[in-house]
Amino acid sequence: METNYQILVNRSHPIGRDFLPNDLVDINEPTGYKEVEYQNKLVMKVYEAYKIMQEDAAKEGYYIYIDSSYRSYEYQEDLMNRFIKEKGLEYAKAYVAPPGTSEHQTGLCIDVLVKRGEKLIDETNEDDPEIQWLMSNSYKYGFILRYPKGYEDITGYNFEHWHYRYIGIEHATKMHDLYINTFEEYYDKYLK
C-alpha cells in the first residue's frame, strides 16, 4: 500500500490498531526514547526530508534532533495510561492522543529536541531560536507545526511547539502561503 502523506489522524479520524506504515526506516541519531527500539523509525521520505531540514538548520547554527517519531498503537496505549497515572486524566486528554488517534502511528511526524553544546535538550519553549527557525522554515521541507497556539478548539490538543507533521512540500507551502494554520482546516478545504 502506498503511503498517504496527507492522511488526517486525530480523535475524529482514528486509524486501527493494526495500521503500520510499510516503509519505516531506522533513524540514525539519538532520540529521547532510547528504551523503545521501534521509536527510532520514520517513513523513509519523511526521514529524508527531515535530514535536509536538519542540515539546513545546522548551517544557520540551529541543531535539531528527533525526540520521538513512530509509535505503535500499543506504545501509545501505554503512554496514555502512564500520563493518566502520573499527571491525571485531564492533562493526559489535553496532551496525549488516545491509541489509534496519534499521528505518531503513521510514521509521518516528529517531536523535536535541540542540541546546545554537547547537551540534548527536550524541554524547549516556543521562543527558543531553534523552534522559531522551525516555525518559520519547516514548510519548505514539507512539514507543518501540527498543533499551533490558539487553535486548540480545532486540533483538539494544546499548543505543541515541538510536534511537526510531514504533509509534503506542495501542501505545506500551500498552507503557509494561504495562512491556513491547522491541518484540519486545510484538509476540509483542499483534501477531503
Return the CATH fold of 24-144+154-191: Muramoyl-pentapeptide Carboxypeptidase; domain 2 (3.30.1380)
Average pLDDT over residues 2-21: 94
Give pTM, 2 decimals.
0.92
How many degrees, rounded to 5, is the angle at CA 118 between CA 36 and CA 114?
60
- Annotated active-site residue 2? The verdict is no
137: Cα separation from own chain's centroid: 15
Element (H, E) at 134: helix 129-137
Q: What is the pLDDT of residue 32?
A: 54
Q: Which residues contact 59 (CB under 8 A, 6 or more apart)?
A: none
Give the pLDDT confidence of 132-183 residue by residue, as tens digits.
999 999 999 999 999 999 999 999 888 999 999 999 999 999 999 999 999 9
| pLDDT at residue 105 greater than cutoff 60 | yes
Q: What is the pLDDT of residue 93?
A: 85
Give the pLDDT confidence of 46-104 residue by residue, as tens digits.
999 999 999 999 999 999 999 889 999 999 999 999 999 999 999 998 888 999 999 99
Q: What is the pLDDT of residue 38?
A: 47
3-state secondary structure (DSSP) of residue 6: coil
Average pLDDT over residues 41-49: 96
For the chain, the structural domain boundaries read 24-144+154-191
Q: What is the pLDDT of residue 51?
A: 97
Q: Which one from 160, 170, 184, 185 is the annotated catalytic residue?
A: 160
Q: What is the pLDDT of residue 30?
A: 61
Amino acid identity of 6? Answer: Q
Q: Where are the beta strands (DSSP E) in the chain?
A: 24-26, 41-43, 64-68, 109-116, 119-121, 143-147, 160-166
